[in-house]
Structure 1
């Protein structure tokens, strides 16, 4: 009786790639039957056992008895494909930028909203007052006023936004609430322990404005003032000058002026800055586009200011909390508005700087901001008459200060006409000390640091009215202040760092790392599969010798082929006509 042939199943390319071993059918598992009349039958059985021991190539290693899939290989392939696709997608779309902008836009619950609503930063206002040391010499001897800078008197500004209302057009309406708290530990002296000599602002305002009155009215006013005991200079404490003192002229004006033009009952430079401000502001939240993010839409319900003419009334500016990101605007100019400035100020980008590991744009006031009309025609709409815009470095703010002859400048007349410095003694402008600046992160539009430095001046015109007839025409410095933020809260600073510096480094590493890992995983699988398909002549020969020793016969289809999978040898059949052959025919 002859041997029962062993059928070696065909293995597809998919099975080879995924490591699937073919399952033997029952016919493949039959034990060969030997002829009992063959005297060498027993010897062949012994040789077969020895062959298994010596060559370690038993028949069950040629074809697996179980159909198994390599879980590890399949896992690697799936991981590689997912990582590669994810890396390609993430590297082609600004996904981190989308997440950042989503959290940057103002809406209730975002980190930016909490920072905007109640910043939690140490916002300081530093006040420097000019003490006049020679008031009599100035009035009677024609001396220049000698000014002594006293300060700083430091106030902590506790600020939050109240009465917040989100609108359907992508804006939010609110009011500012500011509480100024004196900080004696940061000040040179307590603000109520020293007396300073300063110009009598209400009196000098009255006499300057009265110059336009008919002569008979001026004489009448002069006669009345003789009985008032008012003098051109007044002795006050810093506390009184900042937060107000009783003055008969302001009290009268509060009583008899028209309702919309009434000044407070007291005279104080910060009198209207403490508490909830009357001004109602509306800004863009960024939901309808980041080009207007943080910019004012309305002030007190109006789309422009009521103080000036034409384009000077524009309120297209930030209120200081956020600015449109520069990567959206592509502009070197940003604009900021503050009620005390009475107008929009243009700030120009100067350079990039690094603060706390984060890149920021350094902005200072535009060179033409306080330029004369002759050199900057755009400033003409800030001038009510030809006398108000003839000197570089001054900005008339009377329309929002009850029409008082009040002018803003930079401290110590920095970047102003030298004539202003020549009229007084004791001023020394310095760029580092007196220049306004903003450090704005260009991608987020968040100010990392800001210092607004302005000086309040009283422009006096000599009058024949007593008791100011000896007070010469002059632009008289009263005080200057610095307000702003030095450092962001820790949580905001970390968020800004993560969204900029860290993201710039981590995102490319992450996305391209996914691509690299995915590609290497797939390449590794295919390389390993390729090596498993390489035929080893030595191992094939050993397999063939093993078959011969067992005395088995095999099925062939044209050309014999053995497939090596790991340490097993499997027969590939093309499912064509099967033929029994003697094992000796396999020998070369």
Structure 2
């Protein structure tokens, strides 16, 4: 009897364990990822002592900035009214150093900082040395002509006189480094010495990224995510304001999203309708990326987002873009935030631009695979594991009867320089992310998957063994009874 009772206790315990395995497995599959994500969400917000503060302040992975300069190969023909033929030179590659300075945590779940950025030239990753000379459109003279276009004839004649003294022409030859980082322009310097022109010209240096090496692009205040993880790293204010003064509508002037380096987690969101907003000081506006497909970076599952062509459509095709002027699709007039310089922003090679712009240039070859902006985001943390952020700076040329070199030129948006700011997580960082965060999702998933069949097998096995045991126990007393009767009969004889 004691043996039977012990077997029953073991069977009950085994059945209980099997049920627990199945229940834990089901809970693990149904709720495990959500529980893990909640734990991650508690760790993601930025604080003065958070683990991710160092990586946020100084990115541990290399960031590269590459420049391609558009050389004009037929400047004389352009001056006579011909179609420009351009040829891209580059890349000229620089290692980008980022460091957030003056970090201050505010009481309203925001943090304020300046991001200081400097660059180091990488000859081994560049097609040519930055000292190579390239013939490009003389943007300083184009800028001055644009600024004095509505001034008096006397002002224009004075400029013509100064321009002739310095023998300035529509196209000039400068080194790649000068075109990128700047040089003192003699015409700008001379024009600033003339009282009637001084107020129109803010600086006597020119470079497409003049003043950008070793400086910051403004004072940022972003949300830490401490009270709402869905706004983690979203910009609250830039240079003390939450909206811009440049565009035509309040919507267009809104500063939306992040700086593009880190987004809130994407888990439990409808990726097909999700928009990742980011604000770019380069184009003086916010824009968004849309989900394209699932991807992976160093075997880490990611979601690939890209900036869609609809962002660049004209206001007829995309009414939201009425805020950004009346240009046709593919280009954005940013002269309002470039001190009046006739600068237009597009994607490289005028990708997604209207035919009227592309048809006026020879030498461009737009290709969405290599000229668009793409971001690969790890969905549990919102970290951008790989990014290719691309844009092109163009100069708007138009005829001006009173200025020599501008009398016969055809109206054209002329490509000047295009950039690719890229980064991809390294193997060490990928391993750290896996070991500290992502592997626990894998562990929970596989443990849950294993527990359910193990529990079911254990439950069935226990029932089978218990049934066999009971069958044996039921038949044993009959055998014993038969044996006793036989022995008793023998003694009678």
TM-score interval, normalised by the smaller of the two chains: 0.7 to 0.9
Deviations 1:126-150 (A, max 9, x none): 11111122222322x4332222211
Match in the other structure for 1:392: 329
Structure 1 stretch 532-541 or stretch 149-158: which is displaced more? Answer: 532-541
Deviations 1:554-584 (A, max 9, x none): xxxxxxxxxxxxxxxxxxxxxxxxxxxxx99
Answer yes or no: is the 8 Å Cα contact 1:153–1:191 preserved in 2. Answer: yes
Match in the other structure for 2:260: 320
Aligned pairs for 1:197-216 within 5 A? 197-216=135-154
Match in the other structure for 1:188: 127
Residue from 237, 242, 246 that aligns with 1:303: 242
Answer yes or no: is the 8 Å Cα contact 1:207–1:465 preserved in 2. Answer: no
The 3-state SS of whatever aligns with 2:362 is: coil
Task: Report whether the alignment pairs 1:133 with 2:70.
Answer: no
Residue from 380, 390, 396 that aligns with 2:322: 380
Match in the other structure for 2:339: 402
Match in the other structure for 2:167: 229
Match in the other structure for 1:102: 42
- The Cα of 1:336 is off from its aligned counterpart by 1.8
Task: Report whether the alignment pairs 1:337 with 2:276.
Answer: no
Match in the other structure for 2:310: 368
Answer yes or no: is the 8 Å Cα contact 1:306–1:313 preserved in 2. Answer: yes
RMSD over equivalenced CA pairs, Å:
3.8
Instruction: Flag the 1:340–1:538 CA change in 2: closer, same or farther, 3 A.
Output: closer
Q: Tell me, in whole angstroms, the C-alpha distance in 2 between the residues paired with 1:508 and 1:460.
A: 60
Instruction: Flag the 1:434–1:525 CA change in 2: closer, same or farther, 3 A.
Output: closer
Task: Report whether the alignment pairs 1:454 with 2:395.
Answer: no
The 3-state SS of whatever aligns with 2:149 is: helix
Q: What are the ranges of 5 or more consecutive residues in structure 1 without an aligned counterpart?
A: 1-9, 20-72, 384-388, 550-582
- The Cα of 1:198 is off from its aligned counterpart by 1.3
Q: Tell me, in whole angstroms, the C-alpha distance in 2 between the residues paired with 1:180 and 1:107.
A: 28
- The Cα of 1:178 is off from its aligned counterpart by 1.3
- The Cα of 1:212 is off from its aligned counterpart by 0.9
The 3-state SS of whatever aligns with 2:37 is: helix
Residue from 417, 421, 425 that aligns with 1:483: 421
- The Cα of 1:393 is off from its aligned counterpart by 1.4
Q: Tell me, in whole angstroms, the C-alpha distance in 2 between the residues paired with 1:508 and 1:112.
A: 26
Residue from 333, 336, 351 that aligns with 1:414: 351
- The Cα of 1:396 is off from its aligned counterpart by 1.0
Q: Tell me, in whole angstroms, the C-alpha distance in 1 between the residues paired with 2:387 and 2:458.
A: 51
- The Cα of 1:531 is off from its aligned counterpart by 5.9
Q: Give the length in aligned residue pairs.
A: 482
- The Cα of 1:86 is off from its aligned counterpart by 4.6
Q: What are the ranges of 5 or more consecutive residues in structure 2 without an aligned counterpart?
A: none
Q: Tell me, in whole angstroms, the C-alpha distance in 2 between the residues paired with 1:471 and 1:499.
A: 64
Task: Report whether the alignment pairs 1:163 with 2:102.
Answer: yes
Q: Tell me, in whole angstroms, the C-alpha distance in 2 between the residues paired with 1:446 and 1:483.
A: 17
Match in the other structure for 1:62: none
Match in the other structure for 1:350: 292
Higher Rg of the two aligned structures: 1
